[in-house]
Amino acid sequence: MKIALVSAFLDDGYQHNLDDEFVERVVCEEDHFYHRIAKSLNMRNHQVTVFYISEEKQIKKFKHKYGHEIIRVPAKKIPFIHEPLVYSPNLINLIEKDFDICHLVSGYYVMYKVPDMFDYVVKKLQNKMPIIARWAGGNHKWLLPIRKNIKKNRLKKCDKIICAGKKEISVLKDVFKISESRIEHVINPQDLQLFKKRTKLEACKKLGIDDGKNYFLYVGRLTINKGIENLLEIFKEIESIYPEFKLVFIGDGPLKNKIEEFKNMNKLNEKIILEGRLSHNKIAYYYNASSILFHIGTSGGLPNVIIEGVASKIPIIASKNNANIDFINEELGTGIIINPNDNVELKKSIKKILDNPEKYTQKIPEIIKESSFEKFGERLEKIFEECLNEKITRS
């Protein structure tokens, strides 16, 4: 099969234009889940291309380090009240001409007041090829009534919708009236040979960091709505109580300068570490070296860091968003769920885990054990084949 994996975000939310240098230096080298999906399907001998829409004017092909093709496609943006209208005839033409399947892999729940790229792609490609969407959460209550109807209509035009969490499935069924037969419960592929439990000593030695110190860890884009401001404020409050701890940020983004200013202003230069973008080969060891992983933002969906952290058996403090609650809870012994922007809960949860860390490194859910590249690729292949066969039958 020729499979198009499509990001519905303009410049994929990097807050940086996808110019040639950035794509080659960052996008082609990162281990983002789009590319892990591509790798899983390539292992099943399918031809996979990852599409990014961009304000860059030139269509250009790149090669990812995993070996698959990336195509950057120009998109048009029309200013419109609160949010721009974004569309790309070039994207539609490329997919319609050369591909068997369109899989919208991004968290497409983007625009709340105007039709978004997900709506546009589905409208243009429906009945021309199978369309598989990925439901990545989001607060449906933010949608204006007319937007909710448009979203509902477009979701119903998809052949399959992939979800990572039980709550997300309930929203699709109860709010958008999507048939259960069109919903698949699948989490993104993980390298379970890399993300696993190791001793702190082994991990610190591999990273070249002091095993006599302890580490709090954040992994992800340094953007708003990720709980970074809350984490900084609480760390400032408790660093005198836990003087042996450092706070490590892995990732890049527009809040980087704000974090630098914060640590300078509060004389925490030796305590707050900005590691920048790192490969999975290094991130895996940071999970093992650290005492708590934080994912406390308001954004929805199931982040890969949650799955990676659980597989690595690091205690996690996560916000009560969509699929997080299926994987992080005290019953499983994987961590603690808190309300977003609740500093009191955050502070209490840190103390609770540090007082009894063994309680929060217990179980790995079975669905994570089944998320290897091989098993994920096989599962997605079956979904795609089913959609293609149904299309042939209908025609």
CATH classification of the domain holding 280: 3.40.50.2000
Assigned domain for 194 exists: no
Same domain? 75 vs 184? yes
Q: Which pLDDT does position 235 carry in this prediction?
A: 97
- Mean pLDDT estimate for the chain: 91
Same domain? 214 vs 100? no
Token pair belonging to 215: 């580490």
Same domain? 183 vs 215? no
Same domain? 17 vs 165? yes
Distance CA 289, CA 260 (A): 23
Same domain? 101 vs 160? yes
pLDDT band of residue 147 (cuts 50, 70, 90) is: confident
Range with the poorest average pLDDT among 259-263, 286-290, 313-317, 390-394: 390-394
Instruction: Please say whether the dihedral angle defined by the alpha carbons of residues 297, 27, 160 and 76, taken in this order, is positive or negative.
Output: positive
Cα distances (Å, whole numbers) of residue 130 to 161, 221, 285: 11, 32, 39
User: To the nearest whole percent, how much of the chain has pLDDT over 70?
Assistant: 95
Above 80 in pLDDT, residue 299?
no
Distance CA 220, CA 235 (A): 18
- The long-range contacts involving 229-235, CB below 8 angstroms and separated by at least 24 positions, are 230/296, 230/341, 230/343, 230/346, 231/294, 231/296, 231/346, 232/259, 232/262, 232/272, 233/343, 234/343, 234/346, 234/347, 234/350, 235/268, 235/271, 235/272
**How big is the CA angle at 103 (ends 161 and 251), to the nearest 5 degrees?**
95
Q: Which pLDDT does position 81 carry in this prediction?
A: 74
Range with the poorest average pLDDT among 135-144, 224-233, 254-263, 354-363: 135-144
Nearest to 70 by CA among 104, 12, 23: 23
Mean pLDDT of the region 275-288: 96
Q: Which pLDDT does position 11 carry in this prediction?
A: 74
Same domain? 84 vs 211? no
Above 90 in pLDDT, residue 41?
yes
Same domain? 119 vs 10? yes
Q: Which pLDDT does position 142 carry in this prediction?
A: 67
Same domain? 7 vs 144? yes
Assigned domain for 65 exists: yes
Mean pLDDT of the region 93-99: 97
Mean pLDDT of the region 293-314: 88
Above 80 in pLDDT, residue 111?
no
Same domain? 85 vs 60? yes
Q: Which pLDDT does position 148 carry in this prediction?
A: 82
Above 90 in pLDDT, residue 9?
no
Q: Domain containing 48: what range? A: 2-189+372-394
Same domain? 121 vs 51? yes
pLDDT band of residue 260 (cuts 50, 70, 90) is: very high
Assigned domain for 35 exists: yes
Q: Which pLDDT does position 392 carry in this prediction?
A: 82
Number of domains observed in the structure of the chain = 2
Q: What is the Cβ-side half-sphere exposure of residue 242, based on CA atoms within 13 angstroms?
A: 20
Token pair belonging to 82: 């609160």
Assigned domain for 227 exists: yes
Q: Which pLDDT does position 12 carry in this prediction?
A: 66
Q: Are 277 and 26 in contact (CB under 8 A)?
A: yes
Above 60 in pLDDT, residue 261?
yes
Which residues, including other chains, have CB under 8 Å from residue 344's CB and lie 6 or more apart? none
Same domain? 180 vs 245? no
Q: What is the pLDDT of residues 121-134, one digit of tens each?
A: 999 999 999 999 99
Above 70 in pLDDT, residue 108?
no
Same domain? 212 vs 346? yes
Q: Which pLDDT does position 298 carry in this prediction?
A: 80
Range with the poorest average pLDDT among 29-33, 46-50, 265-269: 29-33
Distance CA 49, CA 4 (A): 5
Assigned domain for 195 exists: no
Assigned domain for 96 exists: yes
pLDDT band of residue 156 (cuts 50, 70, 90) is: very high
- Better-predicted residue by pLDDT, 241 or 369: 241
How far is the first Cα of the chain from the last one, in angstroms, to the nearest whole number?
19
